[in-house]
């Protein structure tokens, strides 16, 4: 008898709950309920999903939408800065697939990684790095801020740089139609770059059966890794054949970082087993549920260096291992004798009007290298790599880094703020064209098996990696680098960092200066540039009535 009464009470409770749910929906309406739930913080939204079936359906729908959330805080206390930034990015419903954080040089990296990791699931990939500055929406004012920290002692007193170098930028993302994995480039006795590329490729093919859609790449600082060029350049060289040309590869080529891959926190400077680089891998999700569209990446580049002088050919090249430099002599088509460093540099500085030789110069070296992969036959590729000029004397020209071979061709480049500003305008025009294309509604009524309509595509977020030499001091005003995105996509999440080496892999003709020589030359590492990664969403096709 008691059991029957309990069953009866349970049935009545179920009916009452169902009736209450229906009454609630009838009273406030599904649209209003959707509006209310969409304004809940992420943690409250997760709890609300357990209330009833109708709420769960609405919230699951919200969590499958594209979402990039970012916020920065300049709170002088690390705990306070992390709390402000994380609270802001989690102020609306989101199902994080990854977390990227950048902190000021005065904050402790390991402590920051722990504080940030404590706020998210241990299964979410998290990368925290020390940067030279941050861009993004202020967690308190909601205004876009450009915060630049100077790492050069000579510029500490400049009014455009902050005396304090505290700050935290946190970016959290959910990208529909993509899976996210974290792949480290381990550093034990040597850099296993081939294994790194192979791991990325195999993980992507296991996920989707195709090349990655995108890769966010972070590497250690030049100062802490003498073999930097092999750690970064080699994987990107191989990516010409290991990955599709459509794979978007961007990132920061000079940062100290920590990461969480879902198992443990791993330092990039561990004495036992460290990571020279880490890749955040985005693969197509073949198991996505019905009704979910696809995220697409669009990479754009604003260059900031101009070529100057003739083209040279390197001769008598020798790497100097103790200071990670290369010494060389050079010839040109007009000069057949081997020129020393002073003979090479004097006319370059004269053309610049710099008689004190104080301007920073780079050599853009075109390297023809043999690419070997087990997936394709041996092939030759052309890559351009920028290396800073250190000095020149009566014997040699000295440049930073290694990897130059005899008979590699090169040309000098110098920072040019007018070119950089014009290049930003070009990027803005490209974004305007992208916006027009995405805003176009496509309707196809010619299908005899049933008409299909496409919902409007849209940009939902963007990221930026800018050279630390740019910014307010370089342009004389703030937000020049950010202006292309902010002007074309107002109100859309946008964030970024100042870094020491900008990664953008692709066929960029910006450095060719009208020359068709080696038109297939690719450049992966840039100087005085800004790299833009724009994220758009392509909704699934829906039947038209």
Q: Is the pLDDT of residue 111 over 60?
A: yes
> Concatenated DSSP letters for 411-468?
EEEEE-HHHHHHHHHHHHHHHHHHHHHHTPPPEE---TT--EEEPPPEEEEEEEEEET
pLDDT digits (tens, 9 = 90+) for 471-487: 988 898 999 999 999 99
- 169: which 2 tokens? 């930028």
Question: In this predicted structure, which of 32-46, 216-230, 373-387 has the lowest mean pLDDT?
Answer: 216-230
Confidence (pLDDT) at 32: 75
> Concatenated DSSP letters for 254-290?
S--EEEE-SS-EEETT-SSSEEEEEEEEEEE-TTPPT
- 313: which 2 tokens? 């050919």
Question: In this predicted structure, which of 203-212, 219-228, 493-502, 529-538 has the lowest mean pLDDT?
Answer: 219-228
pLDDT digits (tens, 9 = 90+) for 306-332: 999 999 999 999 998 888 899 999 999
pLDDT digits (tens, 9 = 90+) for 323-366: 889 999 999 988 889 999 999 999 999 999 887 777 889 999 98
Average pLDDT over residues 40-65: 69
pTM of the model: 0.85
pLDDT digits (tens, 9 = 90+) for 243-273: 777 889 999 988 889 998 866 555 544 332 3
CB atoms within 10 A of CB 509: 13
- Pairing assessment for the beta strands 305-320 and 522-526 based on DSSP bridges: unpaired
pLDDT digits (tens, 9 = 90+) for 369-382: 776 655 555 567 77
Summary mean pLDDT of the chain: 80
CA atoms of 193 and 59, how far apart (whole Å): 42
Sketch the domain layout of the chain as residue ranges: 29-63, 65-148+162-263+270-304+420-440+455-507+519-544, 306-415
Going by C-alpha positions, the residue among 231, 202, 296, 146 that lies closest to residue 503 is 231
pLDDT digits (tens, 9 = 90+) for 150-164: 654 444 444 444 546
Going by C-alpha positions, the residue among 312, 427, 425 that lies closest to residue 361 is 312
Confidence (pLDDT) at 270: 38
Please, which residues have CB within 8 angstroms of residue 438's CB and are 6 or more apart in sequence?
A: 456, 457, 458, 459, 536
Confidence (pLDDT) at 524: 81
Going by C-alpha positions, the residue among 162, 76, 154, 69 that lies closest to residue 120 is 69
Confidence (pLDDT) at 453: 37
Angle CA(485)–CA(489)–CA(490) in degrees, nearest 5?
105
Distance of CA 437 to the CA centre of its chain: 23
Confidence (pLDDT) at 439: 77
């Amino acid at each position: 008898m008691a059991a029957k009464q309990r069953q009866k009470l349970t049935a009545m409770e179920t009916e009452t709950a169902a009736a209450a749910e229906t009454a609630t929906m009838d009273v406030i309406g599904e649209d209003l309920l959707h509006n209310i739930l969409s304004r809940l913080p992420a943690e409250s939204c997760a709890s609300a999903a357990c209330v009833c079936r109708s709420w769960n359906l609405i919230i699951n729908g919200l969590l499958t939408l594209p979402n990039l959330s970012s916020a920065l805080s300049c709170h002088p206390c690390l705990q306070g800065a992390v709390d402000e930034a994380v609270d802001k990015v989690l102020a609306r419903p989101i199902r994080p697939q990854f977390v990227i954080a950048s902190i000021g040089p005065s904050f402790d990296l390991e402590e920051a990684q722990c504080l940030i990791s404590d706020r998210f699931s241990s299964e979410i990939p998290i990368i925290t790095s020390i940067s030279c500055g941050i861009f993004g929406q202020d967690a308190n004012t909601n205004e876009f801020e450009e915060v630049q920290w100077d790492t050069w002692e000579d510029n500490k007193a400049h009014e455009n740089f902050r005396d304090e170098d505290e700050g935290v930028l946190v970016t959290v993302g959910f990208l529909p139609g993509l899976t996210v994995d974290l792949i480290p480039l381990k550093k034990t006795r040597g850099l296993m770059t081939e294994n790194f590329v192979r791991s990325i490729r195999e993980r992507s093919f296991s996920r989707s059966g195709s090349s990655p859609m995108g890769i966010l790449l972070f590497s250690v600082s030049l100062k802490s890794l003498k073999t930097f060029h092999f750690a970064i350049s080699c994987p990107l060289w191989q990516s010409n054949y290991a990955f599709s040309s459509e794979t978007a590869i961007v990132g920061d080529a000079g940062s100290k970082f920590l990461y969480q891959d879902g198992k443990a926190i791993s330092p990039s400077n561990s004495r036992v087993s460290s990571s020279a680089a880490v890749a955040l891998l985005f693969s197509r999700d073949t198991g996505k549920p019905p009704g979910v569209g696809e995220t697409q990446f669009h990479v754009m580049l604003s260059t900031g260096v101009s070529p100057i002088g003739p083209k040279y050919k390197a001769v008598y090249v020798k790497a100097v291992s103790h200071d990670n430099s290369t010494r060389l002599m050079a010839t040109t088509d007009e000069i057949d004798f081997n020129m020393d460093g002073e003979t090479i540099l004097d006319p370059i500085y004269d053309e610049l009007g710099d008689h004190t030789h104080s301007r920073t110069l780079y050599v853009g070296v075109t390297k023809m290298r043999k690419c070997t992969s087990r997936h394709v036959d041996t092939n030759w590729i052309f890559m351009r790599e920028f290396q800073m000029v250190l000095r020149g004397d009566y014997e040699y020209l000295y440049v930073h880094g290694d990897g130059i071979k005899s008979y590699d061709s090169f040309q000098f480049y110098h920072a040019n703020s007018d070119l950089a500003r014009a290049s930003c305008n070009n990027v803005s025009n490209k974004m305007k064209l992208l916006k027009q294309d995405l805003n176009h509604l496509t309707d196809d009524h010619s299908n005899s098996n049933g008409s299909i309509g496409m919902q409007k595509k849209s940009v939902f977020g963007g990221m930026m990696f800018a050279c630390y030499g740019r910014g307010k001091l370089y342009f004389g005003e703030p937000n020049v680098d950010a202006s292309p995105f902010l002007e074309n996509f107002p109100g859309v999440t946008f964030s970024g960092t100042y870094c020491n080496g900008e990664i953008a892999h692709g066929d960029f003709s910006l450095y060719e200066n009208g020359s068709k020589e080696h038109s297939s030359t690719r450049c992966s590492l840039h100087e005085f540039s800004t790299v833009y990664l724009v994220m758009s969403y392509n909704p699934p096709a829906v039947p038209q009535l």
